[in-house]
Structure 1
Amino acid sequence: MHLPDDFIKQMKPRLGEAWDAFEAAMHEPHTRGVRFKQHTVDTQLATQIKANIPPSIVPLLEQPVPWTNTGYYIDLTAPLGKTILHEVGAFYLQEPSAMAVAAAVNAQPGEYVLDLCAAPGGKSTALADQLSGKGTLVVNEIHPARVRILAENIERMGVSAAVVHNAPDTLARAWPNAFDAVLVDAPCSGEGMFRKDPQAIAAWQPDAPEICARRQREILDQAVQLLKPGGRLIYSTCTFNPQENEQMMAWLEDAHGLTLIDLPDWPGWTSGCPDWADGRPSLAFTRRLWPHLARGEGHFVACLTKPGHLATPAAKETQTRERNDKTWLDWLTAQLHEIPAPCLSPIEHKNVLFSNELGHLPLRGVRVLRAGTPLATKQNNRYIPQQALALRLRPEQAKQVIQLDASAAAAYIRGDALSYTGEQRGYALVAYEGFVLGWVKAVAGRLNNLYPKGWRNSHLI
């Protein structure tokens, strides 16, 4: 890897004596990590995951990422993405430094939270873990192709969230002062990804920080409008340039009257550099990860509060096609012991029922890809359950659950029909090691496989 000459000219004077250590670190292998769901850690299922992956990888999971209680470092060659438990959302492969962003958001159950630039969804799924199904999570991505990837990751991880795809100013007009926390993981010049992604080096130009900074200010102008008085704005980038980091935060304090708040002293992270902006002391409340000081890729994180006091707005009637259908409730009650509240009155679109995860937020003028979890498809007054409903459930929530061993679970994900000698009939969840895999329809002698065709995978280890 060769760092761009103009990047060296910009950063070497700033780092001074630290430049040699920084440059050496940038020529070392990049880092890779895995983040477990919180309930996986809480119930010791991480131990079961370790027991069901290649033995050579197990020691890697003994090296925790020190700024989160759910993350571990893994080897660059660890094939965790080819395992059964990855397929069903037991964990998310995520760069370790990026795990600090959700820690900075610190979403609380019951809050309204917006991830404004959310694709591919790693930070969104971590925020959902913090909310624990209590509150409202909206994830937004403006690019059509990337919003599809976002929706797929939200579904695979069993996340209860609304997926929308809009320009930030559209959302600001529709939802002013609506959110307790807004995350802006800003599009940036990507300097922190140089050693991980050769394309980041190829795409970088000397004027990239200034071009990105203009776009970041446009996004932040709208993010502030979306935030409730007293709410939190969390800003992050994966770049080193102070134009996009400290100087952006100084602009945000001056232009919008926001106040930086001190983030935790995560091991290995340093405070931001006030001297790289206008010298104001509050810029030291931001955090930077330098690859020569901590094990991770370059990252910047800040948290600010909006002037005023948090207040809960009066509930607005959501402009949706909601259902309160006895037929649906009867079907749902026949399947589940415990029904998530947003699933009781779903929104129907093109014969698919979605949970309503938007709470009091109005939909007029907003492009919604999914108002929530796809629950079921309606065909001739019958309901066919969707995979996404299965993955947001725990096995104990369903009335019919069939446990599979590793061989049968792999066959299920391949799309094979499974032999069956049990007495259950009709729709049932299949589970493996405490995680739901999906739906089957049990008939005499076999389990008809309802795993989505587009998800089937014949190359699991």
Structure 2
Amino acid sequence: MQLPASFLALMQELLGSEAGDFFEALSAPHPTSIRFNTLKNINRSENSDGVKWCSDGIYLPERPVFTLDPRFHAGAYYVQEASSMLIGEAVRQLADLSGPLRVLDLCAAPGGKTTHLASILPAGSLLVANEVIRSRYQVLDYNLTKWGSANKMATSQQVNQFRGLKSFFDLILIDAPCSGEGMFRKDPQAIAEWSPENVARCSVRQQQILADAIPMLKPNGLLLYSTCTYNDAENTDNADWLQQEFPLTPLPLNLPADWGIAERSIGYQCYPHRVRGEGFYLAAFQKSGSGSGSGKSKGAKKFKYYQALSRAGQQALKRFIRPDADLVFLESDKGQIIALPEAIREDALQMSAYSKYFRMGTPVGIIKGKDLVPDPALALSTLLHPEFPRIELDREQAIRFLRREDPVVTGPAGWQLVTFDGLPLGWVKVLKNRVNNYYPKEWRIRMSV
């Protein structure tokens, strides 16, 4: 690994006597870690090698071919760098999880931290995931779909387009675009793109994002600022700038010494020679001010592009949707039905007034005649009826299904949920002489087996 001379000098100054161990760690193989989806019923190994700061995270002895694991496509776990799982510990320590929260993950793609939040937040919470780059937004939306949470809203727009949402969110996570120093041993391209000038540009950009976001945070609300880099300009300097320029107070975390996470002047840093993970910086702040913030901005009276689903339409959904779910069903102008938890309807309605491009809730399907053609997202959702007819596949059958080939299965006529290891994968329709595969072509496995 050929590192830029200016980066070597920067880290030598930052780490002093630890610099040698740091550079040696960058030459070692990076660990592979995953985080399990607690929203789904998963068979977990009792002897797994756990991530110290995340009870749902484990290290794998080697990196498998995730594309060929049906459980990966079922949303059973997320392949996530271990250091970044520290976000979950910060939320558990600092956020009030006794009741519903409004939460914004502002720079959310590809979705690791958003799905982590989805597993932690109390029932009735609204989770908004934003990604300004449209191609990355599509990846984010797919990963949220696999995770199965129903209380989500995915948006794609610039931060300043949310400005009307004054004092709306209880928690804002800003995992800011950065120079990527913490990814050097995983991504050689990050080394090629690094320069002191790029560090300076990133720092300025991060401050702009932060400044646009802070008005959306309620008084007493929690701000989490993170990067995957090491330098002070993007980390502690920006954290100090935050407390100087805004009514924000840094909050400490209780991190055991044996975790190896370094405490900085403001915030905390993961270094690869201290932890089994990559470079990651995290600082937490509480916004001062009186009151809780009404969060009432310009309110929309109805959702754009959607109207309430008819009673007849709702009747067609009954056998697909779990009976204990308190939901609002909306139908788009194109006939697409979505399910939105009643608990977040008003919050999602307010958000929609400031969102030009968004997806919310869970796509349920389209009614043709009197019957529902179920959406692939419903198969992966926690809203799915637990007693819907299903066909369990072995690994070979599951791979065939995920490649969008017609699986060799038998079952009663009509819609069937196909599963692997008890985890839903998608839909097939059993006809008299064949079985049709309804797995989306854009999701299919293209890798040769």
TM-score clears 0.5: yes
The 5 Å alignment of 1:4-403 reads: 4-39=4-39, 45-47=43-45, 62-106=48-92, 108=97, 110-131=100-121, 134-160=124-150, 161-173=152-164, 175-265=165-255, 267-274=258-265, 283=266, 286-308=267-289, 309-311=291-293, 313=295, 316-320=299-303, 321-338=306-323, 340-342=325-327, 344-356=328-340, 359=345, 360=347, 361-379=350-368, 382-393=371-382, 397-403=386-392
Matched residue of 1:24: which SS? helix
CA contact (8 A) 2:309 2:331 kept: no
Matched residue of 1:219: which SS? helix
Change (3 A) 1:349 1:397: farther
Matched residue of 2:170: which SS? strand
Q: Which runs of 5+ in 1 are unaligned?
A: 51-60, 275-282
TM-score, length-scaled by structure 1? 0.87
The question of 1:409 aligning with 2:398 is answered: yes
Deviates more, 1:291-300 or 1:366-375: 366-375
- What do residues 136-159 of structure 1 show as CA deviations (whole Å, max 9, x unaligned)? 111000111111111111112223
CA contact (8 A) 2:218 2:287 kept: yes
In structure 2, distance between residues paired with 1:460 and 1:395: 31
Q: Which runs of 5+ in 2 are unaligned?
A: none
In structure 1, distance between residues paired with 2:408 and 2:32: 39
Matched residue of 1:243: which SS? coil
- Cα deviation for residue 433 of structure 1 reads 1.6
In structure 2, distance between residues paired with 1:200 and 1:81: 24
- Cα deviation for residue 444 of structure 1 reads 4.0
Q: Which position in structure 2 is the counterpart of 1:427?
A: 415
Matched residue of 1:322: which SS? strand
Matched to 2:50, the amino acid is P
Matched to 1:205, the amino acid is S
Matched to 2:263, the amino acid is G
Matched residue of 1:154: which SS? helix
Change (3 A) 1:375 1:44: closer
Q: How many residues align?
A: 434
Matched to 2:431, the amino acid is V
- Cα deviation for residue 324 of structure 1 reads 3.5
Change (3 A) 1:318 1:137: farther
Matched to 2:427, the amino acid is W
Matched residue of 1:137: which SS? strand
Matched residue of 2:11: which SS? helix
CA contact (8 A) 2:325 2:383 kept: no
Deviates more, 1:127-136 or 1:182-191: 127-136
Matched to 2:376, the amino acid is Q
Change (3 A) 1:77 1:418: closer
CA contact (8 A) 1:263 1:302 kept: no
In structure 1, distance between residues paired with 2:359 and 2:264: 41
- Cα deviation for residue 72 of structure 1 reads 1.1
- Root mean square deviation, CA, Å: 2.5
CA contact (8 A) 2:107 2:174 kept: yes
In structure 2, distance between residues paired with 1:306 and 1:102: 20
Matched residue of 1:73: which SS? strand
Change (3 A) 1:29 1:62: same
Matched residue of 2:29: which SS? coil
In structure 2, distance between residues paired with 1:152 and 1:44: 20
TM-score, length-scaled by structure 2? 0.89
- Cα deviation for residue 90 of structure 1 reads 0.7
Matched residue of 2:355: which SS? coil
- Cα deviation for residue 382 of structure 1 reads 4.7
Change (3 A) 1:133 1:375: farther
Deviates more, 1:134-143 or 1:155-164: 155-164
Q: Which position in structure 1 is the counterpart of 2:2?
A: 2
Matched residue of 1:70: which SS? strand
CA contact (8 A) 1:117 1:140 kept: yes
Q: Structure 1 runs of 4+ off > 6 angstroms? A: none
Change (3 A) 1:322 1:86: same
Change (3 A) 1:453 1:218: same
In structure 2, distance between residues paired with 1:353 and 1:151: 17
In structure 1, distance between residues paired with 2:400 and 2:64: 22
Deviates more, 1:129-138 or 1:438-447: 438-447
CA contact (8 A) 2:101 2:122 kept: no
Matched to 1:31, the amino acid is P
In structure 2, distance between residues paired with 1:268 and 1:233: 23
Change (3 A) 1:419 1:145: closer
Matched to 1:323, the amino acid is A
- What do residues 124-183 of structure 1 show as CA deviations (whole Å, max 9, x unaligned)? 11111112653111100011111111111111222331110111111122x221111110
- Cα deviation for residue 459 of structure 1 reads 4.7
Matched residue of 1:46: which SS? coil
In structure 1, distance between residues paired with 2:323 and 2:26: 50
Matched residue of 1:234: which SS? strand
CA contact (8 A) 1:213 1:243 kept: yes
Matched to 1:148, the amino acid is Q
In structure 2, distance between residues paired with 1:11 and 1:171: 37
The question of 1:439 aligning with 2:427 is answered: yes
In structure 2, distance between residues paired with 1:379 and 1:421: 25
Matched to 2:81, the amino acid is E
- Cα deviation for residue 395 of structure 1 reads 6.7
Relative to its length, the structure with more strand (as a share) is 2
Matched to 1:182, the amino acid is I
- What do residues 388-424 of structure 1 show as CA deviations (whole Å, max 9, x unaligned)? 01101377524323333333323322323345554x4
